[in-house]
Amino acid sequence: MSSSATTAPDRRAPSRGAEPDPRPAPPGAGSPAPPGKRRRFFLTDGWGALALPIAGYLLVVLIVPLAIVFARSFTDPTLGLGNYAAFFASPIYTDVLVNTFVTAITVTLITLLIGFPYAYLMTIAPPVWRSVLLVVVLVPFWTSLLVRSFALVLLLRDTGAINETLLSLGLISDPITMVRNFTGVLIGMVQVMLPFMVLPLYATMRGIDRRLLQAAEGLGARPAFAFWRVFVPLSAAGVAAGSLLVFIQSLGFYITPALLGGPDDVMLGELIVQQVSTVLNWGFASALAAVLLIVTLVLLAIASRFIDVRRIFWKEQ
Amino acid sequence: MTFKRKGVALAAVAMVGSSAACGGGAAAEDSKTLTVVMWGGSAQEAHVQSYVKPWAEVNGVEILQDQPTDYAKLRAQVESGEVSWGIVEVEPNFSATACEEGLLEKIDTEVVDTSVLDPQFVNECAIPNLQYAFNIAYNTDVFGEDHPTTWEEFFDTEQFPGKRGFWKYVTGGILEAALLADGVPADELYPLDVDRAFEKLDTIKDDIVFYETGDQQVQLLASGEAPLVQAWNGRVFQAAQQGQPVANEFNQHFLSYDQVVIPKGYPNADLAMEWMGHFVTDLQGQAADTRASAYAPVNDKALELLEPEILEELPTSEENAAKRATVIDYDWWAENYDAVSERFNEWLAS
């Protein structure tokens, strides 16, 4: 997202556009310049040089391959817009693109709904319980995505543990279909994505001065009202950061939907892998990847009209 | 559809960069090394132990392995001229296309006596390494003796209620099965009437459960979630041997096969070719592989070495071969794969 490392040496601190940046320089951008004086370009600053290795690394492993992918989408197998014409000619690809975004947005909203109270609980829990809650949310990081997806199938399928139990207890007469459909995809993806929502939320909430809530209540606000008008707005940066992380990562999923979803829950990642590995049509695969990237960037651009993306990443506590 | 075979491809997708560890083949041009790449898992282990390692020991060749086969990597290696894969197990429609595109070494028939093989399984760049069936498999707890024995019965959800499992991969025999079920005679299957096949599949679409991997296939079948599955006979046989309630029905099975190829420009291509020459008449090795992996040998003489209880479970034994519907026509698939696979995706998503 931050293109600051690759922009031409701008005299100002890493600001992405031409408009002056009224905010203070981000952490790590060197010593704050005296007011009224221009700040030094951070890369020429002694500390800023620490960013050069990662910038070089990203150039080699991200920017260059991305450029090749873009180029290939216009040149393979023949020069022109053929790959993009093929994309829009068949309803399958646009349907799958829409499905990809619908899935990613739904997953983001559900993780937010679950993650927000969870992160809040972490901020008010005593230290021991806070550690327990943290471990619980981190467990997914320590187990293989594939193993978890297979395990979920065993648990959720029609003849799985949950349905067998409910059936034997007589609570249901027919198994509830929870896997190989959209429900299965959501259960699987939310479970994977939850840490990416909870951790930024927790980091933000921990920095909120709880005395502000007391102050609001002291001024006559009911607790719920104070929470809604004071705490929630102050946690907005965490909400935006978590949502962004979850949304972007969800767009690229394909193993989980392939294992837990039904035939119509295909996401674009799955079609890209198929084009790369099975059909060997790399030009078309590149075009699929380019479309996904461009649509994502456009959505982010629109979102940044309403959310200050820079503030999410550079917010000073 | 995305993931190929035998249950391990997914695992490999998760282990990004596993192949990077195995770039030694190209670097070791002078020494006698051979890198073998197959679909992975216990099947690859069986193949390599049975008919690659013994040959390598006699000839002083060091065998390196990678898994699973990835056509994109193969193509990237050939295009960049850095070929580290020597023997690669592939699907026949890929070998036909890739041979035409010049991605594969041509088979030297002076070194490899292809006359001992069934000619329909051989092409200019590939020889077969195993045979297996896409057949009806059933859960023995749900269906006993009166299980479906034809694809018409397999598609009859009234007489045989329950979900049907199919491979989410279009060349896996699903269209062929639908056409047989719809009354097309087996010898008139190809060229496939794709429209008719999808119309027939529409009639049971709500009852279909798709699997991506061999493990999932057995899971579906053994758990009873899908008591009927169009399966790979070897997988079901292995599960049955482990005591799971599953069995194969060989009537109207489709015979399929895998091939081995040598990527163009592999430094030790001569050595790879030598192995191929040995393999086609290595009856002991092929029989040993069949015992370990339940895939049928490609030299029919190897059948004579096998025990009756294993022959019973092979699609190429005399008794089962008589029940065959047809051999999958991979030449047709090579020409039509792209278009039909797109059509399949559309049908899945609709």
pLDDT digits (tens, 9 = 90+) for B277-313: 999 999 999 999 999 988 999 999 999 999 999 999 9
Tokens of B62: 């060091």
Residue B340 with chain A: CB contacts under 8 Å: none
- At B346 the pLDDT is 85
Cβ-defined contact of A277 to B71 (cutoff 8 Å): yes
Q: What is the mean pLDDT of residues A270-283?
A: 88
A273 interfaces chain B, CB cutoff of 8 Å: yes
Average pLDDT of every residue of chain B: 90
Distance in Å, alpha carbon of B97 to nearest chain A alpha carbon: 10
Q: Which of B298, B259, B296, B292 is nearest to B280 (CA)?
A: B298
**Domains of chain B by start residue, with CATH:** 19-131+257-321 (3.40.190.10), 132-256+325-349 (3.40.190.10)
Q: Please tell me the number of Cα atoms within 13 Å of B235 on its side-chain side.
A: 24
ipTM for the predicted complex comes to 0.73
Residue A281 with chain B: CB contacts under 8 Å: 338
Class of domain A90-304: mainly alpha
A236 interfaces chain B, CB cutoff of 8 Å: no
| Crossing angle of the two packed helices A145-156 and A161-168, in degrees rounded to 10 | 20
Residue A178 with chain B: CB contacts under 8 Å: none
All structural domains of chain A with their residue ranges: 38-75, 90-304
Q: If interface means Cβ-Cβ distance under 8 Å, which residues of chain B face chain A?
A: 1-4, 10-11, 13-14, 70-72, 75, 163, 168, 208-210, 212, 215-216, 219, 223-225, 337-338, 341-342, 345-346, 348-350
Residue B130 has pLDDT above 90, yes or no: yes
Q: Please tell me the number of Cα atoms within 13 Å of B223 on its side-chain side.
A: 22
Q: What percent of chain A has pLDDT over 90?
A: 44
- At B28 the pLDDT is 43
pLDDT top residue among A91 and B170: B170
pLDDT top residue among A159 and B243: B243
- At A146 the pLDDT is 82
- Cα separation, B332 vs B330, in Å, equals 5
A253 interfaces chain B, CB cutoff of 8 Å: no
| pLDDT classification of A317: cutoffs 50, 70, 90 | very low
Residue B58 has pLDDT above 60, yes or no: yes
- The 10 Å Cβ neighbour count of residue A127 is 7
- At A41 the pLDDT is 62
- At B1 the pLDDT is 36
Chains A and B form CB pairs within 8 A to the count of: 78
Which amino acid, A282?
A: W
| pLDDT classification of B41: cutoffs 50, 70, 90 | confident
Residue A235 has pLDDT above 80, yes or no: yes
The backbone torsions φ and ψ at residue A35, rounded to the nearest 5 degrees and listed phi first, read -55, 140
Residue A283 has pLDDT above 80, yes or no: yes
C-beta separation of B37 from B65 below 8 A = yes
pLDDT top residue among A51 and B88: B88
* CA nearest to A93 within chain B: B346
Q: Of A95, A150, A180, which is closest to B349 when you measure between CB atoms?
A: A95
Identify the weakest region by mean pLDDT among A150-159, A282-291, B89-98, B131-140.
A150-159
Tokens of B247: 């069995």
Residue A77 has pLDDT above 70, yes or no: yes
Cβ-defined contact of B14 to A145 (cutoff 8 Å): yes
